[in-house]
Structure 1
Amino acid sequence: MANYIHVPPGSPTVPKLNVTVEEQECREGAIRLLQELRPHWNPETITMQVFTDGITNKLIGCYVGDTMDDVVLVRIYGNKTELLVDRDEELKSFRVLQAHGCAPQLYCTFSNGFCYEFMQGAALDPEHVCDPTIFRLIARQLAKIHAIHAHNGWIPKSNLWFKMGKYFSLVPTEFEDQEVNSRFLNEVPSFQVLQEEMAWMKEKFSNLGSPVVLCHNDLLCKNIIYNDKQGDVQFIDYEYSGYNYQAYDIGNHFNEFAGVSEVDYSLFPDRALQEQWLRSYLEAYKEYKGFDKDVSEKEVEVLYVQVNQFALASHFFWGLWALIQAKYSTIEFDFLGYAIVRLNQYFKMKPEVTALVFPE
């Protein structure tokens, strides 16, 4: 299978607990998990803090005492997210990244989520990811993940087009609410248009020469934890991780400079910032792969063209994703509005980025 991920031998096993944590009444279920994971904790003294009502899952931090030295994160899957996320692949990705020092410790899985180690630090905002000190750390950490070797020299294939096709097949044709349905029909391109764009992208982008590597695929600002004391960054949330085009992962991250709740594409990194970022990335990637670290102008320019074209595919992918969420998610978020923003940006940027040419 194209997106097969092999967990390295000797990786610690992850216990699966037969517990369901209700999204609205989560304390009881979380306590049952903690009785297994932290049996010495007194249930009456456990503090639970909702870290994020994210736009896919619910995340709760559990700890005792005043200091947050030992925090167990309980992540509850969002409604119908199994349509969008392969949970077995997510678990494998998590374990592979953990084995290579790129992820926190995974404590257990349960019926509708899993528990893992809290990473000390601050989740970033769009204003942080354009800071040169921080973006060089991000570029280096992403290079480290991209340099993880596939098992036994197996040559991986991207699962981008498969996933995009699956999402397209799940996009709703109508909404029960008449106002929402009217907005959907008036502001979202027709199925035929979307299908034609998908075919065009697959034909064009598959031939850009971007290597297929293990990718995070969802590197939005809040999925980057910056520890200023240690001077490092770590990435969290591997739901969408898997083998994909190197340039897609970077282009997707650049799109996330615009934010999620209030999207502002004027924050998309300009060419000068991108070239600094890409040079830092290529130097680290070559180092991790054991190559000569020297990076030429041409290599930076080639990656720049690939990244900006694959950024289109990222807009399209998350546009389809948001249309499905608009139908099924119970989270308070304007998914239809987000889908419209992403698809509009796709069509707006298409002429500009397809005009980019590789250096001679």
Structure 2
Amino acid sequence: MVTEWPHLILLFYEIAYVRQNLQALLYLFTDGITNKLIGCYVGNTMEDVVLVRIYGNKTELLVDRDEEVKSFRVLQAHGCAPQLYCTFNNGLCYEFIQGEALDPKHVCNPAIFRLIARQLAKIHAIHAHNGWIPKSNLWLKMGKYFSLIPTGFADEDINKRFLSDIPSSQILQEEMTWMKKILSNLGSPVVLCHNDLLCKNIIYNEKQGDVQFIDYEYSGYNYLAYDIGNHFNEFAGVSDVDYSLYPDRELQGQWLRSYLEAYKEYKGFGSEVTEKEVEILFIQVNQFALASHFFWGLWALIQAKYSTIEFDFLGYAIVRFNQYFKMKPEVTALKVPE
């Protein structure tokens, strides 16, 4: 179903008036830095809500919308995503998940992070159809992003900041070549991934004792360790990034053990996990966290050029690239145990 955005809102008002004779209300969520997210509901409480997501300016450069919908439907079929009601030219409409969108303070809580680890394992364990062996599109997508980054900005102050604080194109190209060579050979399985598991994309329902993930724009087949490493990076937050919140080795060990137990269970391999398995995944995850920093650094540079949303995308790109180069010597020194 394809529906134009203004007609969709009118449709909600019509349904509310004709079927329930109640006032239809709109609620604009403000947490997103890519799209506009609007909740449509009737009555005085947000109990029966339909979400409408309007794509941000030029986000078609960053997101394969057909792939997003395809992944959304697969995840929905396996009970890992809300119901998708319809799509339209510049957005989509889907079920609202009741609960609390998490903050960095929540994701280090053992009671919650074990639920997150288990839910991510459930997604990663989804079988590819018809015996198809999936391949990661990480390097292809990263290369595409690299081709889209700006070479400069019209604003003199912004351009000065860009030239002084962002690595040169040559350095970025060399780092991508290095990452592809090293990370592709770590042996991390390629699975269906969320690829954008920041805190606000995790909804915790305390009453039901579960978590659900939302926003599948960047979902697709990728390295298992990338998805986890990307999530660990997001412990630092988005608006006020603080990498001192990156999970320490002890917390990661607990998280990864919970994940592996659930992953093996979903795959039908039992649930016994060895210390060596945890250690190997720890190394893979922390090295793939480098690729996550790099990916979102490129993404932020493109957003700095095109986005109309009020956010310091250039500053965010600087933070991500700085953390990449800071983290690189430490995580590349990690060696897989014999």
Q: Give TM class, smaller chain.
A: over 0.9
Structure 1 CA distance for aligned equivalents of residues 14 and 141 of structure 2: 38
The match for 1:181 is 159
Partners of 1:50 and 1:61 within 8 A in 2: yes
Query: Could you tell me which amino acid in structure 2 is paired with residue 351 of structure 1?
Result: P
Deviation at 1:35, TM superposition (A): 4.3
Deviation at 1:69, TM superposition (A): 2.3
In structure 2, do the counterparts of structure 1 residues 298 and 38 end up closer, same or farther at CA, with 3 Å as the change threshold?
farther
The aligned runs of 1:1-150 (5 Å cut-off) are 15-17=1-3, 19-21=4-6, 29-32=8-11, 35=14, 40-42=19-21, 45-150=23-128
Structure 2 CA distance for aligned equivalents of residues 57 and 94 of structure 1: 17
Deviation at 1:38, TM superposition (A): 9.2
Deviation at 1:292, TM superposition (A): 1.9
Query: Could you tell me which amino acid in structure 2 is paired with residue 16 of structure 1?
Result: V
**4+ residue runs of structure 1 moved beyond 4 angstroms?**
33-39
Give the secondary structure class of the aligned counterpart of 2:52.
Answer: strand
> Cα deviation per residue 1:126-167 (whole Å; 9 max; x = unaligned)?
000000000000000000000000011110000000000000
- Give unmatched runs, 5+ long, in structure 2: none
Structure 2 CA distance for aligned equivalents of residues 290 and 69 of structure 1: 37
Percent of residue pairs bearing the same amino acid type: 79
The match for 2:180 is 202
Calculate the aligned-residue CA RMSD, in Å: 1.4
Partners of 1:156 and 1:212 within 8 A in 2: yes
Give the secondary structure class of the aligned counterpart of 2:19.
Answer: coil
**Which of the numbers 153, 177, 181 marks the counterpart of 2:131?**
153
In structure 2, do the counterparts of structure 1 residues 114 and 303 end up closer, same or farther at CA, with 3 Å as the change threshold?
same
Scaled by the length of structure 2, the TM-score of the pair is 0.97
Deviation at 1:68, TM superposition (A): 2.2
Partners of 2:16 and 2:23 within 8 A in 1: no
In structure 2, do the counterparts of structure 1 residues 37 and 103 end up closer, same or farther at CA, with 3 Å as the change threshold?
farther
Query: Could you tell me which amino acid in structure 1 is paired with residue 25 of structure 2?
Result: T
Structure 2 CA distance for aligned equivalents of residues 141 and 245 of structure 1: 17
Query: Could you tell me which amino acid in structure 2 is paired with residue 219 of structure 1?
Result: L
Partners of 2:58 and 2:306 within 8 A in 1: yes
Deviation at 1:106, TM superposition (A): 0.6
Deviation at 1:70, TM superposition (A): 1.0
Deviation at 1:40, TM superposition (A): 2.3
Partners of 2:17 and 2:23 within 8 A in 1: no
In structure 2, do the counterparts of structure 1 residues 209 and 46 end up closer, same or farther at CA, with 3 Å as the change threshold?
same
> Cα deviation per residue 1:42-90 (whole Å; 9 max; x = unaligned)?
5x71111112251000101111112322101011000000000000000
Deviation at 1:244, TM superposition (A): 0.1
Structure 1 CA distance for aligned equivalents of residues 64 and 2 of structure 2: 17
Partners of 2:16 and 2:24 within 8 A in 1: no
The match for 2:218 is 240
> Cα deviation per residue 1:223-254 (whole Å; 9 max; x = unaligned)?
00000000000000000000000000000000
Partners of 1:282 and 1:295 within 8 A in 2: yes
The match for 2:256 is 278
Give the secondary structure class of the aligned counterpart of 1:347.
Answer: helix
Deviation at 1:16, TM superposition (A): 2.0
Structure 1 CA distance for aligned equivalents of residues 31 and 228 of structure 2: 26
Matched positions, count: 338
